[in-house]
A and B are shown apart, each in its own frame.
Chain A
Amino acid sequence: ETGVTQTPRHLVMGMTNKKSLKCEQHLGHNAMYWYKQSAKKPLELMFVYSLEERVENNSVPSRFSPECPNSSHLFLHLHTLQPEDSALYLCASSQVRGTYPNSPLHFGNGTRLTVT
């Protein structure tokens, strides 16, 4: 139990499908993150939400659309993906404390996405 739960664990979708990845954190944190991990590549930061506002969008294609309805939940909506989008998508959370040191990131175990 990591305190950050991601569903589903595995997802196979066609290029014309629309699906959503869900992340829920039970740690009382107020910042949430989406990372992408492709085979043999380092983790890539996709989106950052702090206090439910998006604060970072690292040039991610519009076919990925994040949503953060509250500080405990984070979604990644997917549509018209490409096969090269197949990867492990990881959610993380942390506590942001203004001028105090931020807490470390806590990760979920990811959703393994395969686009066919």
Chain B
Amino acid sequence: DAKTTQPTSMDCAEGRAANLPCNHSTISGNEYVYWYRQIHSQGPQYIIHGLKNNETNEMASLIITEDRKSSTLILPHATLRDTAVYYCIAGAAYSGGGADGLTFGKGTHLIIQP
């Protein structure tokens, strides 16, 4: 998996959009960008993933730059329950029939302020 760089921590006001950046300048052409989050004492929760195009689902939006060297996860209306550690991972999209575990870094601790 390509190395990713994220800020250690971020604050965001409740009700505002939370924008979490991630740098993955060494990402290869067959690697997706995945985002997960982990709330204290729970397992990581899948949020979204993408290859080239921007993606949106009911939880968040993922904006990937044209050169794919960085991305931003957007939580459009942050709530207190969005306080968690957010992990950005660049991982293999195709494994030729095998399975690849993803490599997690230290992530960004997002704190939503009331």
Enumerate chain B residues within 8 angstroms of A107, measured Cβ to Cβ. 43-46
Bound form: Cα–Cα A4–B43 in Å: 10
Q: In the complex, which range does the number of interface residues on chain B fall in? A: 20 to 34
Asked whether B43 lies within 8 Å of A109 as measured between CB atoms, the reply is yes
Number of interface residues of A (CB under 8 A): 32
Enumerate chain A residues within 8 angstroms of B107, measured Cβ to Cβ. 42
Output the least CB separation between A37 and chain B (Å). 9
Q: How many A-B residue pairs have CB under 8 A?
A: 75
A16-50 vs B: 1/0 string, CB under 8 Å?
A: 00000000000000010101000000110100111
Chain B residue at minimal CB-CB distance from A33:
B101
* Segment at the B interface, from A59-67, A77-85, A92-100: A92-100
Asked whether A104 lies within 8 Å of B34 as measured between CB atoms, the reply is yes
Bound form: Cα–Cα A63–B46 in Å: 30
Asked whether B101 lies within 8 Å of A109 as measured between CB atoms, the reply is no
Bound form: Cα–Cα A90–B107 in Å: 17
> Residue B97 at the A interface, CB < 8 A?
yes
Output the least CB separation between A98 and chain B (Å). 5
22 cross-chain CB contacts under 8 A: A31-B99, A33-B99, A35-B101, A35-B104, A42-B104, A48-B99, A49-B99, A50-B97, A88-B41, A94-B99, A96-B98, A99-B96, A101-B32, A102-B93, A102-B100, A104-B49, A105-B46, A105-B102, A107-B46, A109-B42, A110-B42, A112-B41
